[in-house]
Amino acid sequence: MEPRNVVVTGMGMLTAVGLGRDSSWEALKRGASGIAPITILDTSDFKTTFAGELKGFAPEVAMDPKDARKADRFAQIAVVAAAEAMAQAGLDAAPGDPYRAGVIIGSGIGGMITFEEQHAKFIGRGSRGVSPLFIPMMISDMAAGLVSIRYGFRGANYCTVSACASGGHAIGAAFDQIRLGHADVMITGGAEAAICNMALSGFGNMKALSTRNDDPAGASRPFDADRDGFVLGEGGAVLVLEAEDHARARGATILGGILGYGMTGDAFHMTQPDNDGAGAMGSMRQALRTSGLRPDQIGYINAHGTSTHFNDKIESKAISAVFGDHASRLKVSSTKSMIGHLLGGAGAVEAVVTLLALRDGILPPTINYRTPDPECDLDYCPNEAVLAEVDHALSNSFGFGGHNVTLCFGARR
């Protein structure tokens, strides 16, 4: 069987700048920041007191209130994003054979909020205080499970867990399910909700977080010489992928195409990227090779761009190595400057943003870019969106443990 073309027919997204795809995209194009002081917990004992919260998030917009109470916040986010994506795709159930429709949704941490809440009950009341729903609410695969149950998708159903590359890996795995003929339709993406005491403590104590408490909106500054760490965010995104022939047969609107992807491992360090950028280079080169594209055919890269010292300079170095002279003509940006780092949800949100950028010919900015860094010498779309009709783009995601994934997208006009 010849590999099948894979297209996108639905997208849903929740971020700190919007509780939906369109509201998020409008804010991102404007360069709006969703970073603000944390309101969902007491931060008086923390080094960092701000994050990218989903302000006003109410899972009941897409979930029965009883069901919502049985799900951790990260899974609620996934279900709401999936509902938006399925509505855009014009689907409310598996079309055709349900065993040829699957769900792969990544999460780097899963139900950390539930774990923290239930551990407090255990400490206070002993084992009898722990909810019988603790395990199903906590486990990272439950987002995929709940979405599968909701729509009756009986094909491949699992979760990818690769830290900040989880969402990107999920999309790559779903792409393969269709390309190789195992499925006709896949719901895929990533979701995370880790703005909680333990996450803030852990990331803060390892000095990974920005501490610009006097300027939350200006704290995430990828590729800027004065960057001082990433900003924690929550949210997620879900995409509906289909075989192109299947989508056309049912008259679906095609929003873009996934052309290929690459994934590598640094085999270097628990948290720090490979110093020479070999893992990131290999991931991007694989994405180009599987897509059948030359480096000079890529017009935009949605970078991992975390606003940390090592990631930003090494990612820039890797892009320059892969694209050579063309690197100076590339547009690169990091939407984490506006919504923070969504960990396992980042790759999925950035995939949706990349597809919207291709669709509209608008490349979102890297905000808070004030002081150029000689070790980051690319065009980062500083502070304002760029109007540019681009046919092909990459989206990078790199995770603790040395996990790298690059997705390649193509415009459909």
pLDDT tens readout for residues 241-264: 999 999 999 999 999 999 999 999
Q: Indicate whether 231 and 333 sit together in one domain.
A: no
Separation between Cα atoms, residue 409 and residue 406, nearest integer Å: 10
Q: Indicate whether 283 and 239 sit together in one domain.
A: no
Along the 413 residues of the chain, how does pLDDT read in single tens digits?
A: 788 999 999 999 999 999 999 999 999 999 999 999 999 999 999 999 999 999 999 999 999 999 999 999 999 999 999 999 999 999 999 999 999 999 999 999 999 999 999 999 999 999 999 999 999 999 999 999 999 999 999 999 999 999 999 999 999 999 999 999 999 999 999 999 999 999 999 999 999 999 999 999 999 999 999 999 999 999 999 999 999 999 999 999 999 999 999 999 999 999 888 889 999 999 999 999 999 999 999 999 999 999 999 999 999 999 999 999 999 999 999 999 999 999 999 999 999 999 999 999 999 999 999 999 999 999 999 999 999 999 999 999 999 999 999 999 999 87
CATH number of the structural domain spanning residue 379: 3.40.47.10
Domain interval for residue 87: 7-249
**Burial level of 128, CB count in 10 A (0-12/13-18/19+)?**
exposed
The total domain count for the chain is: 2
Is 2 a member of any domain? no
Closest CA to 360 of 385, 383, 339: 385
And the tokens for 382?
A: 């500083």
Q: Is 341 considered catalytic here?
A: yes
Q: Indicate whether 76 and 185 sit together in one domain.
A: yes
Query: ∠ CA 22-304-190 to the nearest 5 degrees?
Result: 55
Q: Which one of the listed residues 159, 164, 196, 376 is annotated catalytic?
A: 164
And the tokens for 40?
A: 């969902």
Is the pTM for the entire model greater than 0.95?
Answer: yes
Q: Which one of the listed residues 246, 341, 392, 403 is annotated catalytic?
A: 341
Domain termination site, one of 249, 282, 313 = 249
Q: Is 381 considered catalytic here?
A: no
Is 131 a member of any domain? yes
Q: Indicate whether 144 and 233 sit together in one domain.
A: yes
Domain termination site, one of 183, 214, 249 = 249
Q: Indicate whether 274 and 203 sit together in one domain.
A: no
Report phi then psi at 336, rounded to 5.
-65, -20
Q: Indicate whether 117 and 88 sit together in one domain.
A: yes
Q: Which one of the listed residues 169, 196, 246, 304 is annotated catalytic?
A: 304
Q: Indicate whether 80 and 130 sit together in one domain.
A: yes
Is 206 a member of any domain? yes
Q: Is 403 considered catalytic here?
A: no
Residue 364's identity, in one-letter code, is P
Closest CA to 260 of 394, 392, 408, 391: 408
Domain termination site, one of 249, 278, 296 = 249
Q: Indicate whether 245 and 275 sit together in one domain.
A: no
